[in-house]
Amino acid sequence: MYNLLKGKKGIIFGALNEHSIAWKVAERAHEEGAEFVLTNAPIAMRMGELDALAEKTGSQIIPADATSMDDLENLVEKSMEILGGKIDFVLHSIGMSVNVRKGKHYTDPKYDFTTKGWDVSALSFHKTMNVLYNKNAMNQWGSIVALTYMAAQRVFPDYNDMADNKAYLESIARSFGYFFGRDHKVRVNTISQSPTPTTAGSGVKGFDGFIKYADEMSPLGNATALECADYTISLFSDLTKKVTLQNLFHDGGFSNMGVSDAVMSKFE
């Protein structure tokens, strides 16, 4: 390990189980010397195994509904108390579509479900930064990262309204990132990760096909959850102090591909 985060303090949203990218980020952050608070929604915590991660990394858990301003304010205030000062890094790894869970097609959603998914998956990022910004809770040259997917730019039919949520999330990163950078010297970026077999991702129809297709299209193959964690750590570190307002593709080259030999061979 490189001690890239030695002395840094953070908040990690969204770890559920060992398949979660946020889980891998927490493990890697711990290995690189960071201290952090873990958080997830109370209902997700009942489904997951967050206690085991907290024990492994010597972290405390603060339950928080990321759509609730009251919960987020409590999270940030208590995190600073526990960690003994301002925050250096935050990971937003939250996504949920009720329409996907309930099998509602994109052309005929239940709009109450759409609004709930948007609030959880995208608006929660704005709310989180709102609290961090207005409480001046981030150290200068701190780093905020949210996880996204390429369906924000291109059509993946079964990704449903999550594609819209991710597009909104990326816009928030740019817009709020401007003010955070100007006023507090904090950087805000999104990582557009390869399709990854997490609990959330596996709920998307045809996800196994997504993964295989992307792997055969990408010259380097799909990035794993652990590799995404490594990339995230680099963005939390001081090695990327001038990287901000970016949507960074971490996908083995998929995002710049038109077609690959492996895919073309199936049609010849």
Q: Consecutive 10-residue runs of the chain (268 residues): their mean pLDDT?
A: 96 96 98 98 86 97 97 98 98 96 97 98 98 98 98 95 98 98 98 87 73 96 98 98 98 97 93
**203-212: string of b/e by CB count within 10 Å (b at 16+)?**
ebeebeebbe
pLDDT at 209: 86
pLDDT at 202: 63
pLDDT at 216: 97
**Verdict on whether the full-model pTM lies above 0.85:** yes
pLDDT at 203: 62
pLDDT at 201: 63
Residue 187, beta-bridge partner list: 143
pLDDT at 206: 74
Give the strand pairing for 247-250 and 9-13.
Answer: unpaired
pLDDT at 198: 76
Distances 50 to 16, 43, 46, 239 between C-alpha atoms, Å: 6, 12, 9, 29
